[in-house]
Amino acid sequence: MPIAIGLEGSANKLGVGIILHPPHQPSSPPSPHDSAYSDDELHSSHPTSKQKSSSPPVQILANLRHTFNSPPGTGFLPKDTAAHHRRWVVRLVKQAMAQARVRIEDIDCICFTRGPGMGAPLSSVAIAARTLSQLWNKPLVGVNHCVGHIEMGRAITGAENPVVLYVSGGNTQVIAYSAQRYRIFGEALDIAVGNCLDRFARVLKIPNDPAPGYNIEQLAKNAGGVLLELPYAVKGMDVSFSGILARVEEMALKLESAAQSKPATPWLDPLTSAPITPADLCFTLQETVFAMLVEITERAMAHVGASQVLIVGGVGCNERLQAMMGIMAAERGGSVFKTDERFCIDNGIMIAHAGLLAWRKGFVTPLGGSGVTQRFRTDEVLVDWRD
């Protein structure tokens, strides 16, 4: 039975996962009816749809994560993040092995993230992977981080051939599969959407724990329904966020100076005359950037004639984004597939899963060629485990 351990550390999360692909199973995930739930099934009172996941196409034996959080108002620096990963990686591997109850002999390959990501954290985790490979005498499998997200999303949700929206702190891509490649139809031309959210959180001094985007989402839920005007930058199937970030940062500073001025002169919404709050800024930012993402996803779906959409990546946990995507997909007669924070946010299990798929097709990364790369495009990977 193929078993793989996966090590992920391309950003501020260190993840270690151990996966098992049961025998006599096709390598591709089953149809939605077998293991996964689409949007509408989730709400219908169908207890069997979740019950069946007790015999999924893949078995997750362990999925551990430890996150490096910097204080509010700051971001995570590569040097500190790498030090965090080095400090935790041995502990996490030991815990994962204990939790999974597998022996070293049971492991078939050591999978690790080759890229894309931050250089220093990537290489410290790669060193750990190489060490394990030498120590245990197991082959190494270098995995593209984006492909890891996509394959895990497909395995968990059972989406067969969806258009994929991959949104995280480092990546924003609209992807569809064609002829053994995950092709990028649209992407962010400057900064990633998660980066835009994270950096805005820093200006408002929103805590980074558990995640800046999560805290923005919670704040936005308390907004008073005011929608301020931000730039809207969609170019065909591409998007751009830097102008939006600059504008919303200006707004945050304006809000701050209005609060500190004496006598207090609150900033009022021109439409409703309600005083603007930080929650309104969070709400406005979310509504604008998510509308852009749903728009380019819809355009890609129209282009390739797809009705399923899968959201992966850290920003994919956001319930407002999921809800907007759900309405769009329903209007097109399709449905949205999504996962929760265990699989959306960077994790080791997705690296183990994608690596094991490649390994079963005979792919191995030689020790001499196991260097990491900060730039590693999704469409560079030959996806020969799908037809």
When asked if residue 178 is in the footprint of another protein (CB under 8 A), the reply is yes
β pairing state of 163-167 and 308-312: parallel
Residue 161 counted as an annotated binding residue: no
In the range 215-244, which residues lie near another protein by CB under 8 A?
A: 227, 229, 232, 236
- Is 37 annotated among the ligand-binding residues? no
At position 187, the amino acid (one-letter code) is E
Longest dimension (CA), the chain: 73
Q: Shortest gap between Cβ of 218 and another protein (angstroms)? A: 19
Q: Which of residues 246-275 bind another protein (CB under 8 A)?
A: 271
Q: Does the annotation flag 168 for ligand binding?
A: yes
Q: Which of residues 337 and 359 has its CB atom nearest to another protein in the complex? A: 337
| Of the candidate residues 41, 106, 190, 379, the single one contacting another protein (CB under 8 A) | 379
Is residue 85 annotated as involved in ligand binding?
no
Closest residue by Cα to residue 321 from 343, 346, 344, 303: 344
Q: Are 178 and 148 in contact (CB under 8 A)?
A: no
What is the rounded distance in angstroms from the CA atom of residue 50 to the CA atom of residue 35?
Answer: 7
Least Å distance, CB 383 to another protein, is 14
The binder of another protein chosen from 47, 333, 366, 368 (CB under 8 A): 333
Q: How far is the CB of 142 from another protein (least distance, A)?
A: 21
Q: Is 232 annotated as a binding residue?
A: no
Which residue's CB is nearer to another protein, number 341 or number 379?
379
Judged by CB, which is closer to another protein: 129, or 325? 325
Instruction: Using CB under 8 A, pick the residue from 86, 130, 247, 299 that binds another protein.
Output: 299
Q: Is 280 assigned to a binding site?
A: no
Q: Give the footprint of another protein on residues 275-294 (CB under 8 A).
A: 287-288, 291, 294
Residue 149 labelled as part of a binding site: yes
Q: Which of 83, 102, 127, 304 binds another protein (CB under 8 A)?
A: 304
Smallest distance, another protein to C-beta of residue 290, A? 9
Q: Which is nearer to another protein, 93 or 294 (CB)?
A: 294
Residues 6+ apart with CB under 8 A from 160: 29, 31, 32, 154, 308
Q: Which is nearer to another protein, 141 or 285 (CB)?
A: 285
Instruction: Give 142's DSSP letter.
Output: E
Q: Which of 68, 76, 112, 185 binds another protein (CB under 8 A)?
A: 185
- 332 lies in the site for another protein, by CB under 8 A: yes
Counting contacts by CB under 8 A, is residue 385 touching another protein?
Answer: no
Q: Looking at beta carbons only, is 259 or 304 nearer to another protein?
A: 304
169 is known to lie in a ligand binding site: yes
Closest separation in Å from C-beta 339 to another protein: 20
- Tokens 């015999």 correspond to 55
Segment contacting another protein by CB under 8 A, of 60-68, 140-148, 177-185, 248-256: 177-185
Please state the three-class secondary structure of 23-64 as a single string. CCCCCCCCCHHHHCCCHHHHHCCCHHHHHHHHCCCCEEEEEE
User: Has 145 been labeled as part of a binding site?
Assistant: yes
Stretch that binds another protein, among 64-72, 128-136, 192-200, 328-336 (CB under 8 A): 328-336
Consult the annotation and say whether 115 binds a ligand: no
Q: Which of 298, 316, 359, 365 binds another protein (CB under 8 A)?
A: 298
The CB-of-164 to another protein minimum distance in angstroms stands at: 13
Chain residues that interact with another protein, rule: CB under 8 A? 176, 178, 183-185, 227, 229, 232, 236, 271, 287-288, 291, 294-295, 298-299, 301-305, 307, 323-328, 331-333, 379
